[in-house]
Amino acid sequence: MGCWRGNLRVRLTVVFSLLFAMAGGAVLTGTLILVDNSMEYSLNVAYEEKYAVLPPEEQAVAGEFIGQSFASKQAIMDSMQSNLLFKGGLTLLVVWVMVTVAGWFVSGRLLRPLSMITATAHRIAGRTLHKRIDLDAPPGEVKSLADSFDSMLDRLDEAFAGQGRFIANAAHELKTPIALNRTLVEVAMARPDSPPQVRQLGENLLAVNQRHERLIDALLTLARAEDAVTERRQVDVAELATIAADTTEALAGRLAVQIGRELAPAPVTGDPILLEQMIRNLIDNATRYNVEGGWVRVQTVARPRHAEIVVSNTGAVISSYEVPTLFEPFRRLTDRVGSSRGSGLGLSIVRAVAQAHRGDAVAVPRPGGGLVVRVILPRSAHPLAEPVIVAPALPEPHDAPHP
């Protein structure tokens, strides 16, 4: 009911219908009054002329018929009014229905430009700023609104593109001195006369240097993921998950974390490099932010219209209100601030890549600690008509990943 009340087309149709009903009712009422007055005047004139021409001696005899004549005149008036009211009301009802139907189609025609603006806004909400309304209509209020909306989109597109170029250029410029620093440290450590203190300092500097390199690579990936995906081809996310899990096995071995896999074929259309980076970030995050002797489970599922990637892990207990902050850039939980395990861009990149492919990423805390992160990707290049955002099935705390 609320949807109908808020529907502008319905409201315009109701307004048109009520206005016509009021106008038709006023016309019918006025017609009844005018016809009644005209008929009464005409009948009075006719009866007066009929009896006025009689001789005086006959007028006395005709007096008794005058009362009957007035009764006959009143019957004629009543019959005329009933007939006019019935036929006029029926005609008004039929025309009112026709006008209501016509008002529905006319209001839809008038609101079509607004529907185009709304559809464009929905497409832009799907993280694409390259769409424009480009309304082909004569100058007017709606045309002015559409042109203003297009101008706003041009400015936004330029601003976001400039931001992405700045991040990419800055990241590329930062790579050169970092690579030079790494080379100098490695040369200093390789000298035969280097004391143990220099070697220890060199190892620490290389670890910091490696963290900076990961941060720059993450910034590049994030900047690329927030742009429109131009390269799309068929790829199986199960294969990408296998590659990402194999890459993380060494880190998992050092942290005593077991990685289990339940990988069913799940083909999608997208950028393989970005999708692999997204899955790698998921598994890497689940492995780094874990507990000793914990586990990570990677699942891929194929649905009729979309594919799902579910990564669950053991770890610290996380509250539900803390989960949204994990998807914000450079935001980590309180116990992760200052940690050298990551830069705070892992899940930001995951959501950016998913949304660039017209999908989404959600997370829920596991009972007993850890997270379950679910990525939903449409199987075609078109966005999902109805995004399926359902809380993933949570593994029990005693579940062990399948090797």
How does residue 122 score in pLDDT terms, banded at 50, 70 and 90? confident
Mapped onto helix, strand or coil, the DSSP state of residue 376 is strand
Give the residue-averaged pLDDT of 256-263: 92
Q: Quick check: 296 and 313 in contact, CB under 8 A?
A: yes
Nearest-angstrom CA–CA distance, 384 and 306 = 8
- Share of residues in the chain with pLDDT > 90 (%): 12
Nearest-angstrom CA–CA distance, 92 and 21 = 8
Q: Quick check: 182 and 212 in contact, CB under 8 A?
A: no
203 or 374, greater pLDDT: 374
pLDDT of residue 66: 52
pLDDT of residue 383: 46
Question: For 190-215, what is each residue's pLDDT tens digit?
Answer: 888 778 887 788 888 887 777 677 76
Bridge pairing between strands 267-270 and 360-365: unpaired
Rg (CA), the chain: 40
Nearest-angstrom CA–CA distance, 373 and 346 = 12
Phi, psi (rounded to 5 degrees) for 196 = -60, -30
pLDDT of residue 403: 45
How does residue 387 score in pLDDT terms, banded at 50, 70 and 90? very low
On the question of pLDDT at 317 being above 80, the answer is: yes
pLDDT of residue 402: 47
Nearest-angstrom CA–CA distance, 31 and 25 = 10
Average pLDDT, the chain: 76
pLDDT of residue 70: 58
Q: Half-sphere exposure (CA, 13 Å, Cβ side) for 13?
A: 21
How does residue 239 score in pLDDT terms, banded at 50, 70 and 90? very high
Number of other CB atoms surrounding residue 359 within 10 Å: 25
CA distances from 366 to 246, 317, 351 (A): 24, 8, 19
- CB-count burial class (<10 Å; 0-12, 13-18, 19+) for 275: buried
